[in-house]
Structure 1
Amino acid sequence: MAETTILVGVGDIINRNLGVHHAAEPAELMLDAITIALQDTGLPSDVITKLKTQIDSIDVVRTWTWPYQDLPGLLAERLGSTPKHSYCSPHAGNQPAKLVDEAARRVAIGETKLAVVTGGEALASLAACAKAGVMPPPNWTPVDTPVTQVFAPSVDEMARGVGAKHKIGAPIQVYPLFENGLRALRGQSLEDNNTESAKLYAEFAQVANKTPLAWSFPRTAETEETIGRVSSRNRMICFPYPLLMNAFNTINLAGAVILTSVRYARELGIAQERWVYVLGGAGTQDSDNFWERPNFHSSPAISRTLDAGLEACGLSKADIDIYDFYSCFPIVPKLACLHLGLDILKPEKPITLLGGLTSFGGAGNNYSMHAITIMARKLRAGSGTNGLVLANGGVLTYQHVICLSSRPRADSRPYPARNPLSSTLSNDSVPETEDSAEGDAIIETYTVDFDRKNEPVLGHIVGRLKGSNHRFVANHGDAATLKRLASRTEEPIGKSGYVRVDGQQGRNLFFFESSARL
């Protein structure tokens, strides 16, 4: 007989002390979060001590902070458990929801009795130690790979193929391609689009301002004015996103959840008011290569994941009372809202529980773990019956949904036996890409890198050749083209120009002026 999977404990920990000798490593923060989650079951301390040894499944969201050789093994050793299942995920922000979904499935089929899913970062402490010249941080677990600086996704690490040739591939560059593409499709002016994003993130900042776990708490919340206005404090990063529309990752946070079956929870004596039912989940991904997406105004993976996640749980969007949409950049919650028919600025239901990765804090790959923990608390408190967490990773690449509820499935069906979606979506509408492009062209989308003085330095164009409709990636070809791309009043998308190959570097260069043909 299939078991009914429930979440019985949640825990979060934050370390705001940035002193070098108070630098707690990610493993320590995760252990604290696990301990808090075990205490959250409401069981006596002596039972919890024994329960630690009975954990038979440990999943860990891979941390950016420290390159552990075997983080699940380290946690198991410290907990005194010998899990049958232990796993450390790849890097991606979809992983918290995916790991909870997979752990819930193992509980449902009887493979796992007591599961822990955890993750955490100590990037703020690592940065403080690096700044003080104290590396490695005192008493952190020794690792084989020396760590000399704080990790952040960069062009050098994330760009590939034609992206690498044109110095584009980092999240700060790719998400803007979709924001600009969606703006043009919706017919928004650049000013209206900036206002919408600023208002959205100002609302998110207010949520974070009421969330003690947020890294920005209890500072005064950023406003529409401070978020939307480019200044020395809020410089442009990659158009159209200034700094306060980008994820902030330098935090010290960890979270954990405890999953088991209704049967075992009763055996342990966990009170029913602690139970939160895990109904199911779904996830998939678009192409890892941004230039191989069908368009730059939608995410098929987000749309398919939301639809399949709801269907797998026997729910409709009308059944959801609370959402938390991943929000490293404004484009992600916008796409989710548009697909579900929610108003972006005045949604009828909450769309963030945390306040977004700018105000709450990026938490590396682990942001959505905190959405799951807070969602569980909200459902326990009666703030809603059903909740949905959308976790996003990569460059609008990887998606996973998990649905939680204060009551079991209405249709009494068992936990979904498998992810209803394929691991990667196939899409026949993706145009062919020309590595070396030449001819009359039109801009499909674009972004511009800015320097620390708020000056544009490099334009990135994704365009189509008029003759073949093939896609290409290019950089700006001259100063006049860069100036027009960086304009805050003129819409470049849909404008014509000419693309040719730079004979020296092999890059494609795009020009608005026809003199580029020479």
Structure 2
Amino acid sequence: MIADSTPVIIGVGQYSERVREPGYEGLNYMDLAGRALSASIADSSATGKVADSIDTLAAIRAFEMSRPGKEPPFGAPDNIPGAIAKRVGADPSRKILTTTGGQTNQQLVGEFASAIAAGESRCAVVVGSEAISTVLALAAKGEKPDWSEDIGGDYEDQGFGIDELMEPALFAHGASGAIPLYALAENARRAKLGKSLEEYRLDIGRLFEPFTRIAAANPHAAAPAMRSAEELATVTERNRIVAEPYPRMTVARDQVNQAAAIILASAGLARELGVPEDKWVHIHAVTASTELKLSQRPDLSAAPASIASVEAALARAGRGIEDIGYIDFYSCFAIPVFNQIDHFGLGIDDPRGLTLTGGLPFFGGAGNNYSAHAIAEAVERARRDRGAFALVGANGGWMSKYATGIYSTEPADWSANDRFEKLPLAQDAVPLAKETAARATVETYTINHGKSGSDAIFIGRNDRGERVIGNADLSDEATRELFESGEPFGDTLALEQDERGRTIGRLAPMPGL
């Protein structure tokens, strides 16, 4: 007999639409989320009223609301979680607008499961949506609908939660978004492997080719098309470099209209609501970790906190990676996937696959809510393959935060309420230089191609072993040739500050010349 206080997932739902395709309605964020939540309620097959039983609802913060000063172009409700709850006739006593981060929904599954096991909640929802594709389509036509709503009532705003993402020195040198920041880590891994740009791009293509096959069969995918490794790796006008080493088709696709919802309940309430037990999926472990800032990491190519999260979840579930039947490693870029498979010794052709959705470049990067889609797919796989285990790895920032969940129809004992764990932060941060040094040795770099031009950004170390961040001077021919060759690793740059306070590096002359 499964204890009444045991948390279980009773329903999952997804909803999506693609611009200009049959049935497209141009739904706003709240309506998309409401459709997904309605789908999750229907998915539970409950005979009772699930909506009436929801006591907690967490709305995942949309990308356009994810940093200070960024406002949704068409407005938003004054109470976002309340607006979503209203779509299904729910009125939870606890309404939450979450922090920023792609790990948030996976971490909340752990937090809400723990609250249910402690008797603090009986039914909790995690729900989010993105309508970026519709926003762009409407803006291109000069349309500006009013998506604001007067909902009223109280809700818990957890804030942006972006302190771990702040990299002022990198931002000041042009690495101010996810693409160049991940590219810095990706090139560090390439340097460790001793691969050329062309070889490494093909590695990325080979990793992601199977992802495109999964996306092509997923009705919710934003880009459902199969592509070969060579097509993904070959630089063309259509598949231009956005930041070395990334061609455009291998980075997360943010132009999506997607929503997903997850409903957790106590086993006792699930029984009261008439949810069939074959719909129940158990939560065997959830772990959450925070990584050092990118500029502080001893190894710029790795994210050990992410590995620690997966290892801890496997240990708590009493399983090894070989025991997991279904895997979704967060794939906004290649390196979060490489980070995991390098550690666990998995092949890119692992017969289990490395994604359940098709991955963020192909299924779509639904903002902070992507992993809710991955969890929904994991739940469906667990229900179909009873007794099998599914693992979802959710990533936030620039491999800055991670949360791992392990799911199965096999019961999980929550009597000790010890299946959700937050891991401690590492203490081996590399200090950032406080003063401009004369020289620095390049550890990694990227050339970021933006609307205002190209910036060559490097991370290196000075003679004291401190981290140095700067721009390589592409107007200097020798420096430009070095960085455009893709092989500046280990070279020494002479440094100076420009009038804007940026550190500028030029290839240092050989001693004695």
**Superposition TM-score, scaled by structure 1 size:** 0.88
- Separation in structure 2 between the aligned mates of residue 373 and residue 230 of structure 1, nearest angstrom: 34
Match of 2:426 in 1: 426
Q: Summarize the alignment of residues 376-387 of structure 1 with structure 2, pairs less than 5 Å apart.
A: 376-382=379-385, 385-387=388-390
- Separation in structure 1 between the aligned mates of residue 335 and residue 243 of structure 2, nearest angstrom: 14
1:138/1:414 CA distance change after superposition, 3 Å: same
1:330 to 329, 334, 340: 334
Q: Does 1:56 align with 2:55?
A: yes
- Separation in structure 2 between the aligned mates of residue 383 and residue 176 of structure 1, nearest angstrom: 39
Q: Summarize the alignment of residues 287-366 of structure 1 with structure 2, pairs less than 5 Å apart.
A: 287=292, 289-343=293-347, 345-366=348-369
1:71/1:440 CA distance change after superposition, 3 Å: same
Deviations 1:38-96 (A, max 9, x none): 1111134xx3xx33122111111111244543211222334333323221111111111
User: Contact between 1:235 and 1:452, CA under 8 Å: does it hold in 2?
Assistant: no
- Separation in structure 1 between the aligned mates of residue 490 and residue 454 of structure 2, nearest angstrom: 22
1:143/1:196 CA distance change after superposition, 3 Å: farther
- Separation in structure 2 between the aligned mates of residue 405 and residue 286 of structure 1, nearest angstrom: 28
- Separation in structure 2 between the aligned mates of residue 13 and residue 163 of structure 1, nearest angstrom: 37
- Separation in structure 1 between the aligned mates of residue 102 and residue 414 of structure 2, nearest angstrom: 31
| Aligned-pair CA distance for 1:482 | 2.6
- Separation in structure 1 between the aligned mates of residue 117 and residue 61 of structure 2, nearest angstrom: 25
1:205/1:516 CA distance change after superposition, 3 Å: farther
1:84 to 55, 77, 93: 93
Partner secondary structure for residue 347 of structure 1? coil
User: Contact between 1:56 and 1:83, CA under 8 Å: does it hold in 2?
Assistant: yes
Match of 2:507 in 1: 512
Match of 2:155 in 1: none
| Aligned-pair CA distance for 1:31 | 1.0
Q: Does 1:32 align with 2:40?
A: no
| Aligned-pair CA distance for 1:462 | 0.4
The one-letter amino acid of 2:192's match is L
| Aligned-pair CA distance for 1:314 | 2.9
| Aligned-pair CA distance for 1:515 | 8.9
- Separation in structure 1 between the aligned mates of residue 308 and residue 389 of structure 2, nearest angstrom: 19
2:469 to 460, 470, 473: 473
- Separation in structure 1 between the aligned mates of residue 512 and residue 500 of structure 2, nearest angstrom: 18
- Separation in structure 2 between the aligned mates of residue 6 and residue 110 of structure 1, nearest angstrom: 13
- Separation in structure 2 between the aligned mates of residue 395 and residue 208 of structure 1, nearest angstrom: 23
1:245 to 247, 250, 254: 250
- Separation in structure 1 between the aligned mates of residue 509 and residue 435 of structure 2, nearest angstrom: 19
Q: Summarize the alignment of residues 94-493 of structure 1 with structure 2, pairs less than 5 Å apart.
A: 94-135=103-144, 137=145, 141=149, 160-217=167-224, 220-287=225-292, 289-343=293-347, 345-382=348-385, 385-409=388-412, 414-416=416-418, 418-422=420-424, 425-428=425-428, 430-451=429-450, 457-465=454-462, 467-479=463-475, 480=477, 481-487=479-485, 490-493=486-489
- Separation in structure 2 between the aligned mates of residue 21 and residue 316 of structure 1, nearest angstrom: 43
The one-letter amino acid of 2:81's match is P
Partner secondary structure for residue 133 of structure 1? coil
- Separation in structure 1 between the aligned mates of residue 166 and residue 142 of structure 2, nearest angstrom: 30
Match of 2:68 in 1: none
- Separation in structure 2 between the aligned mates of residue 202 and residue 459 of structure 1, nearest angstrom: 29
Deviations 1:333-356 (A, max 9, x none): 00011122212x222432101111
User: Contact between 1:294 and 1:427, CA under 8 Å: does it hold in 2?
Assistant: no
Deviations 1:213-249 (A, max 9, x none): 11113xx322212210111101100100010111111
Shifted more, 29-38 versus 75-84: the winner is 75-84
Aligned residues: 487
Match of 1:9 in 2: 11
**Superposition TM-score, scaled by structure 2 size:** 0.89
User: Contact between 2:17 and 2:220, CA under 8 Å: does it hold in 1?
Assistant: no
Match of 2:162 in 1: none
| Aligned-pair CA distance for 1:261 | 1.8
| Aligned-pair CA distance for 1:138 | 5.1
- Separation in structure 2 between the aligned mates of residue 275 and residue 323 of structure 1, nearest angstrom: 19
5+ unaligned residues in a row in structure 1: which ranges? 145-157
| Aligned-pair CA distance for 1:23 | 2.0
| Aligned-pair CA distance for 1:442 | 1.2
- Separation in structure 1 between the aligned mates of residue 511 and residue 418 of structure 2, nearest angstrom: 57
The one-letter amino acid of 1:203's match is P
- Separation in structure 2 between the aligned mates of residue 197 and residue 476 of structure 1, nearest angstrom: 26
- Separation in structure 1 between the aligned mates of residue 349 and residue 417 of structure 2, nearest angstrom: 33
- Separation in structure 2 between the aligned mates of residue 78 and residue 271 of structure 1, nearest angstrom: 25
Deviations 1:246-301 (A, max 9, x none): 111111110111111222222222111111111120111113x4212222111022
Partner secondary structure for residue 203 of structure 1? helix
1:159/1:117 CA distance change after superposition, 3 Å: closer
The one-letter amino acid of 1:52's match is A
Match of 1:155 in 2: none
User: Contact between 2:167 and 2:295, CA under 8 Å: does it hold in 1?
Assistant: no
Match of 1:93 in 2: 102
User: Contact between 2:18 and 2:24, CA under 8 Å: does it hold in 1?
Assistant: no
Structure 1 segments (4+ residues) deviating >6 Å: 515-518
- Separation in structure 1 between the aligned mates of residue 231 and residue 150 of structure 2, nearest angstrom: 42
Identity %: 29
User: Contact between 1:121 and 1:252, CA under 8 Å: does it hold in 2?
Assistant: yes
| Aligned-pair CA distance for 1:491 | 2.1
- Separation in structure 2 between the aligned mates of residue 458 and residue 9 of structure 1, nearest angstrom: 47
| Aligned-pair CA distance for 1:496 | 2.4
The one-letter amino acid of 2:274's match is G
The one-letter amino acid of 2:484's match is A
Deviations 1:155-194 (A, max 9, x none): xxx7642123312231011101111111111233332211
Partner secondary structure for residue 387 of structure 1? strand
User: Contact between 2:440 and 2:468, CA under 8 Å: does it hold in 1?
Assistant: no
- Separation in structure 2 between the aligned mates of residue 174 and residue 105 of structure 1, nearest angstrom: 34
Partner secondary structure for residue 431 of structure 1? coil
| Aligned-pair CA distance for 1:120 | 0.6
